[in-house]
Amino acid sequence: MNDHPDIERHPLQPFLPSNAQILMLGSFPPPKERWCMNFFYPNPQNDMWRIIGLAFYVDKDHFVKKGAKTAALKEHRAKSGFRYEEIVAFCKAKGIAIFDTAQAVIRLKGNAADEHLEIVKQTDITALLQQLPSCHNLCCTGGKAAQTLADILHCATPKVGEYIETYFADRAIRFWRMPSSSRAYPLSLDKKTAAYRRMFETIGLL
């Protein structure tokens, strides 16, 4: 990979609990100025941790810091956002691994939109799965991630909210495509949560 000045490399290490039964994959993190924690789905405007809170605790604010309102985000970014320690502990306890389908990208318009991401280097999914002996579920949390993973797995892309069965890295895999947790994706929070809940129930985590 050439050292092009616009190439952005992934700022986080893969989160890979040894007991993971599912590996959740987005496309790539947003620009750092949008972060409220050093973990995946760090933008307070992204609803992933609200979806997880609703699915597991019937509370969209379960992982949200109390009093963390996005209107005051710029002034209080360090004190606002999500409950990092609780999220990490939850994912370890449940066996949820997280990373992204791209290791390096160019932001064509400098923002977080998937349609403006040029993937320079795909993630080595085989290498991740080698560290996750119990993982037989790959979940993409958006359209670009799903397209990228389909290219890596050499298979079709599932319909939103569904999965297909395939074989990859010497194991049977269920490849899930979930609705994006971005608020730009035109689906209600309740309907997004219902799709994720079905997935977690099928896997046996819920």
| Amino acid at position 101, single letter | T
Q: What is the dihedral angle through the alpha carbons of 105, 39, 178, 108, rounded to the nearest 10 degrees?
A: -20
Q: Given a cut of 70, is residue 203 above it in pLDDT? A: yes
**How confident is the model over 22-50, as a mean pLDDT?**
95
pTM above 0.95, yes or no: no
Beta strands in 58-170 (DSSP E): 96-100, 102-107, 117-122, 137-140, 162-168
Please state which architecture CATH assigns to domain 7-203.
Answer: 3-Layer(aba) Sandwich (3.40)
Q: What gap in Å lies between CA 15 and CA 88, rounded to an integer?
A: 9
Looking at beta carbons, which pairs linking 78-83 to residues 24 or more positions away fall under 8 Å?
A: 80/36, 80/44, 81/36, 81/37, 81/42, 81/44, 82/36, 82/37, 82/39, 82/42, 82/44, 82/49
Other CB atoms within 10 A of residue 202 CB: 13
Return the domain boundaries, the chain.
7-203
Tell me: the pLDDT tens digits for 171-200? Answer: 999 999 999 999 999 999 999 999 999 999
Length of the chain: 206
* pLDDT tens-digit map of 36-47: 999 999 999 999
- pLDDT value of position 41: 97
* pLDDT tier at 6, thresholds 50, 70, 90: confident
